[in-house]
Amino acid sequence: MNIRPYKNQSPNIASSAYIDESACVIGNITIDEDVSVWPMAVVRGDVNTITIGTRTNIQDGAILHVTCDSEFVPGGKSLVIGNDVTVGHGAILHACTIEDLCLIGMNSTVLDGAIVKSKIMVAAGSVVAPDKVLESGYLYVGSPAKQVRLLTEKELAYLEFSAQHYVNLKNDYLNR
């Protein structure tokens, strides 16, 4: 079974969401309306919570996880993803916050406590360091990710397009 509880915490998944049968969704997770979770993605909310906002897409092979409560991280750290976010193939999001209208590029990693503000593109293969706060409206590139330039109007429009494209695609999958 690809959607399962952990210690009596079951995923709460909106009826309009699409979870591919090969994706794995475990534990204390909230998945909002029109979200899509694609093949081989792992969303594991076993030791803390994961929240995925409306119209967000989690692409193939992405890994989403959290940090447990311990003497090293009192209270642990949850993972919060806003609305209209595109999480690219193979990306890793670990106990961080991604605000609205962002694109996290393929094979990028965003680490514990990092905050990716709204309207940001994190380039493919980039690494956002723990507790780093990325300023809204910019492209970030590299390892560690560095602010390169303001996003263009076309790139900002693409953030909305990408989210809506994946809503349309998940609707096709749900209606086949």
Quote the CA–CA distance of 60 and 78 in Å, as a whole number.
22
Q: Please give the pLDDT value at position 176.
A: 85
152 has pLDDT over 80: yes
Give the DSSP per-residue string, 73-92: STT-B-EEE-SS-EE-TT-E
Query: How much is the pTM?
Result: 0.97
- State the burial class of residue 46 (Cβ atoms within 10 Å of its Cβ: 0-12, 13-18, 19+): middle
Quote the CA–CA distance of 127 and 91 in Å, as a whole number.
10
In this structure, the strands spanning 36-37 and 3-4 are unpaired
- The pLDDT confidence band at residue 16, using thresholds 50, 70 and 90, is very high
Q: Does an H or E element contain 171, and which?
A: helix 153-174
Mean pLDDT, to the nearest integer, of 89-116? 98
Q: Please give the pLDDT value at position 18.
A: 98
Q: Please give the pLDDT value at position 121.
A: 98
Mean pLDDT, to the nearest integer, of 62-91? 98
1 has pLDDT over 80: no
Spans of all domains in the chain = 3-174
Quote the CA–CA distance of 70 and 20 in Å, as a whole number.
33
- The pLDDT confidence band at residue 21, using thresholds 50, 70 and 90, is very high
The SS3 of residue 60 is coil
Q: 10 Å Cβ neighbour count for 77?
A: 21
Fold of 3-174: UDP N-Acetylglucosamine Acyltransferase; domain 1 (2.160.10)
- The pLDDT confidence band at residue 46, using thresholds 50, 70 and 90, is very high
